[in-house]
Amino acid sequence: MLKRTLMGLLRSHELTGDKAKDPALKSHFYKLSKDKAWEEVTSTLKKMQGFKILHEVQSVGEIVMEKRTAFGRTMDITVSVISVNPVTSAVDIYSASRGSLGDLGSNYRVILEIYRTLDKKLAQYKTTNV
């Protein structure tokens, strides 16, 4: 966690993907069709405290949100729901802080919070096999 904070002095964004070096930033997979995953993910995100959904584009599978930090900075977050195959979907997250200073790891923590919430809600569908 210290390494994340030190990296956060310089970086003001974080993203997930299937090639991420940090296991916590690997894409999350769910045994759901893209449409079903979209419904579950959007309804879950809408209930999360402190996040504001700005717009949703179901055709491309993107949900754009923002979150204000305790220090008054704004974070822009894009959650992508991607169809891997007809019965499996992946969720990736990109989070960036506005402003020129680093984020002290807050984008990393926000991604983990979103993944924890989704994994709890979609526990029965979570999978590591694609």
pLDDT one-digit tens code per residue, 67-102: 998 778 899 999 999 999 999 999 999 999 988 777
pLDDT tens digits for range 20-59: 989 999 999 999 999 999 999 999 999 999 999 999 999 9
Domain that holds residue 113: 2-127
| Domains held by the chain: number | 1
State the pLDDT at residue 25: 95
For residue 101, the model assigns a pLDDT of: 73
Report pLDDT for 75.
Answer: 94
Q: Taking the complete model, does pTM exceed 0.75, yes or no?
A: yes
Q: Can you give the three-state secondary structure of the chain, one letter per residue? A: CHHHHHHHCCCCEEECCCCCCCHHHCCEEECCCHHHHHHHHHHHHHCCCCEEEEEEECCCCEEEEEEECCCCCEEEEEEEEEEEECCEEEEEEEEEECCCCCCCCHHHHHHHHHHHHHHHHCHHHEECCC
Residue 74 belongs to a domain with what CATH number?
3.30.310.220
